[in-house]
Structure 1
Amino acid sequence: MWGVISYLNSPELVVGFQRCCGLVPRERDSVITQNRRVNANGSDPVTIQRRRAEQVSNGTSRAHDSNSNYKSASSQCEHKDRPRPHYEVRNWLFYFLFVISANLGHEVFYITFLPCIHWNLDPFLCRRLVNVWAVVMYIGQVMKDILKLPRPTSPPVVKLETRVDAEYGLPSTHAMAATAISFTLLLSAHERVKFPFELGLVVAVVLSALVCLSRLYTGMHSVLDVICGVVISAVIMAASYPFWGTVDFFQLHSPVSPFVALALPLFLSYKYPELDHYTTTRGDTTIILACSAGCSVGYWVNERLGLTFDLAGPFPVTLPPLTLAAVGFGVARFLVGLAMLVLTRQTVRWASLRVLCWIYGASVSDVDARRRKEIEVPYKFSTYVAIGLVNSIMVNRVFVMMGLWDLGNSV
């Protein structure tokens, strides 16, 4: 068994997949990088990276030196120690396919796709997706920082992403989110809307598989990371599926629902596992929990106001034909809604950062200060709770005011 696990965790499997898809390191850069793998004191690049991140986290990094020339030199030295990955693309079809697929697991996708389901299809489906997504992602992120298993080493793996390189690897939260979103949407939509279930199943499998394979192509995860992500997500969904309806009823009708929806995610964000170096996992997890909290409160408020914008039954309903006018209204709703969310994000983020930095005597432009838990957690939580509230309460009402929504389709 251990031999199988070691094999699935081998970077050589990732390298083989990348080569089959036409992603290879440039020969000269590969030799140079290989020669730099071990420095004079025998430290490997991952150790160097973790040590540097730990120094920044503890406030002992030379990057805090006020001498701008020294900081510039330090930055150049760091760039020299960690050269950006150099690679050659020999199959551009696979490159664009997997790079686009990888973006289906980033914030830009979540902040557009999930609200788009709310605005153009059924708020019920958005609510169900956000609930499952938040649970799955929190468990996956916490497991990463408890298990502390490294990502595939480079070289030999070619890495196309740098933002999350300091994070740990197992499980792949991209694989977890893709599996959860695809199959939660399939199972929930089947209750609400008439469509060929077999076709939906094929689409769910293909989309989740593309995201999983993209993590190998971009060099960010091993095969073991991806398999574990899919399995963990499937287990969570199977265990929670019988309770989806119960959670939905509590979320909409319980008088304590908004307090639980805000207090529990905020508590979990503050109690996120501490690491000896800074990574983006705590901030990303706070964003996910905050979006879920804001949406949950918003749906509860809609229920109190008597207008939820849900599809009108009996279920499953038959969707109207997809006409050119319907597409035009859908695009208009998407653009207006997205503009409102972006404006909310920029406004609340700007205000919350300045208030918190003023309270703690920090500079808004100080990146390390923004990474401190007492600043990072509340500013990201308040920002994305506001986004969840605007998405669930305000956007559809603006659509009605602008004539972009037909109240005859809602309850």
Structure 2
Amino acid sequence: MGKSKDQPDAGLRSLNHYSNRLPLWRYWPRQHLIPLIRYETPYLAWVQEKVRTPALDSYFAFTANLGTHTFFMVFLPFLFWCGSPSMGRGLVHILASGVFWSGFLKDLLCLPRPLSPPLQRITMSGSAALEYGFPSTHSTNAVSVAVYALGLLGSPESTLSAEVTLLLQTVTYVYVVSIVLGRLYCGMHGMLDCTVGCAMGAAIGLVQFHYGPAFEEFIVSASLKDISLLAILIISLVRVHPEPADDCPCFDDSVAFAGVMLGVDVSSWHFAEIWDGYPAGSIPYDLEKIGWVKTAIRLVLGVLCIFAWRTVMKPALLRILPPIFRTLEKLGLLLPRRFFTTASEYTTVPSNLKDHDVLPNFSEIPNIMATMRHPRRRAISVGPQSEADAYETLAYREKRRRESQSGGNRASPVAEDENKPNGTPVLSRKTTTLDDYEGMMGRGSPSSSGVDVSHNERLSPFPSLDPEQRDEEEVFSQIKKPRVRYDVEVVTKLVVYAGIPWIVIEIAPLLFHLIGLGVPEA
């Protein structure tokens, strides 16, 4: 009986990893884009080395937080509660589209980030490095928001003065340039990632600016059938999200923001005509009548309601859903996703899951605020951080090994240095040539390389394995193993994040009204 095509020869798992896990129509474009990522990596490392300073490290690590999903999720509710629900819905549509479609492309093509080393990754959050690199979600988010904001500022309907408009436009340009350049500076993305991310963001922002008002009108005047079809469409998009080749959390973010968009649209439709005397879809607010103190109390109380919802609902669903999923699994009604453990394989879901969540736990807020106040608390990482990093490191090692055997390329400066007596390879801050940076590619850490096999055999902690297996064990020993993920987490995340807009649009305004924080009646 012939060997299954999904079972590569022993010792060659890393080389056949993507060809075995991806269909040809996904594998072919990936293989044609990989050389571009490898080609630009030494140049990115050279530029990073030339311009890096401690001050810029802190600045770009800090501003990266302003392009994350978490930042927008925490502050978007303020727009709904402070008299700008239409803009809030517009930004939700922009960000949900950007996060979903950038995550869709990431899991579709499974392209790694530029290799580290030679790049050094500077970040205040380690979770971003666990995702694929192409395209840059930070760039997509920043550009989409900037294009939408600039469109609103320049529209004839804008009532702002010329001075205020110019100030806000300047802030917007500084914001988007800081985010996009910061992804390059911090070694998190390459030019290809950021260029495609920017193009996606610009397209999403323009679509929202030109067609957002029509969609807004559709939402607040839709029939039950229309809103049901919209909900089915959003859930269907979650179902057809591509299966990644590696354990990548991109899908989690896509599910979260699909839930947020679902919740915003359904809640806005349901709540459209509840307030007499206000435009459909709006939430009563008047700063002159309420005042700054009550406004601040509204914001704090509203945020507490959001975290209370998440704190209660998430563990409840993780307890309720497993038995239901086991029944559905027996009936053959579930379509399991790769890297998610099915309900029949576990009894309970641990309560202390280490989440990659868009909205953090309430207990994590003090640490997040402390990090924001002290941007020098950044992490500088060298070496693979994810499965995608590890497989790309191994693939590039094999590429160099084959080139060395065929005599096509001269030995790299790093390999030559490793062959010197007592040579201990390090990441030097003095290297200046592209050859030096290219020589570092494929090295899994500052003190190892897969190019010189004999050198590897002397240093490897796995000397009994053949070279390919030894390389794989060495590289994968450097990355943190992903935690077990459970099938019920997908529905849990969808329900929890769909419920957040329900809290923001329906529950919180009613609560404000009941306890005297609403707009006083005339």
The normalised TM-score by structure 1 is 0.71
**Pairs within 5 Å for 1:137-286:** 137-159=99-121, 160=123, 161-188=125-152, 191=157, 193-196=159-162, 197-239=165-207, 241-255=209-223, 256-286=225-255
Pairing partner for 1:371 from 477, 485, 508: 485
CA contact (8 A) 1:102 1:215 kept: yes
CA contact (8 A) 1:124 1:310 kept: no
Distance 2:484 2:270 in 1: 32
Counting matched residue pairs gives 331
Range moving further from structure 2, 252-261 or 146-155: 252-261
Q: 1:186/1:260 Cα in 2 relative to 1: closer, same or farther (>3 Å)? A: farther
Pairing partner for 2:317 from 333, 352, 355: 352
Q: 1:192/1:329 Cα in 2 relative to 1: closer, same or farther (>3 Å)? A: farther
The normalised TM-score by structure 2 is 0.57
Distance 2:490 2:504 in 1: 21
Q: Structure 1 residue 176: deviation in Å?
A: 0.5
Q: Structure 1 residue 186: deviation in Å?
A: 3.9
CA contact (8 A) 2:142 2:201 kept: no
Distance 1:336 1:393 in 2: 14
CA contact (8 A) 1:287 1:381 kept: yes
Q: 1:10/1:376 Cα in 2 relative to 1: closer, same or farther (>3 Å)? A: same
CA contact (8 A) 2:41 2:119 kept: yes
Pairing partner for 1:393 from 506, 518, 522: 506
Matched, 1:302 2:271: yes
Pairing partner for 1:124 from 83, 86, 103: 86
Q: 1:308/1:257 Cα in 2 relative to 1: closer, same or farther (>3 Å)? A: farther
Amino acid at match of 1:286: V
Q: Structure 1 residue 7: deviation in Å?
A: 8.3
Distance 1:208 1:308 in 2: 38
Q: 1:235/1:106 Cα in 2 relative to 1: closer, same or farther (>3 Å)? A: closer
Q: Structure 1 residue 391: deviation in Å?
A: 1.0
Distance 1:400 1:205 in 2: 38
Q: Structure 1 residue 225: deviation in Å?
A: 1.1
CA contact (8 A) 2:95 2:141 kept: yes
Range moving further from structure 2, 10-19 or 376-385: 10-19
CA contact (8 A) 1:341 1:391 kept: yes
Matched, 1:343 2:328: no
Range moving further from structure 2, 241-250 or 6-15: 6-15
Distance 2:506 2:189 in 1: 38
Question: Which residue does the alignment assign to 2:436?
Answer: none
Q: 1:10/1:144 Cα in 2 relative to 1: closer, same or farther (>3 Å)? A: same
Secondary structure of 1:130's aligned partner: helix
Distance 1:276 1:8 in 2: 20
Distance 1:311 1:330 in 2: 22
Secondary structure of 1:269's aligned partner: helix
CA contact (8 A) 2:37 2:190 kept: no
CA contact (8 A) 1:348 1:386 kept: no
Amino acid at match of 2:266: V
Pairing partner for 1:293 from 221, 237, 262: 262
Q: 1:331/1:108 Cα in 2 relative to 1: closer, same or farther (>3 Å)? A: farther
* Greater RCO, CA 8 A, separation 6+: 2
Distance 1:192 1:252 in 2: 23
**Superposed CA offset, 1:50-100 (max 9, x none):** xxxxxxxxxxxxxxxxxxxxxxxxxxxxxxxxxxxxxxxx52x32332222
Q: 1:320/1:377 Cα in 2 relative to 1: closer, same or farther (>3 Å)? A: closer
Question: Which residue does the alignment assign to 2:517?
Answer: 404
Q: 1:97/1:301 Cα in 2 relative to 1: closer, same or farther (>3 Å)? A: same
Q: Larger helix proportion, structure 1 or 2? A: 1
Matched, 1:10 2:37: no
Pairing partner for 1:98 from 56, 60, 70: 60
CA contact (8 A) 2:134 2:193 kept: yes
Q: 1:299/1:210 Cα in 2 relative to 1: closer, same or farther (>3 Å)? A: same
Say what the alpha-carbon RMSD is for the aligned residues. Answer: 3.3
**Superposed CA offset, 1:11-45 (max 9, x none):** 234334543553xxxxxxxxxxxxxxxxxxxxxxx
Distance 1:330 1:153 in 2: 47
CA contact (8 A) 2:102 2:136 kept: yes
Range moving further from structure 2, 224-233 or 299-308: 299-308
Amino acid at match of 2:488: I
Structure 2 gaps of 5+ residues are 1-31, 325-342, 354-481
**Larger Cα-atom Rg:** 2
CA contact (8 A) 1:340 1:395 kept: yes
Amino acid at match of 1:371: R
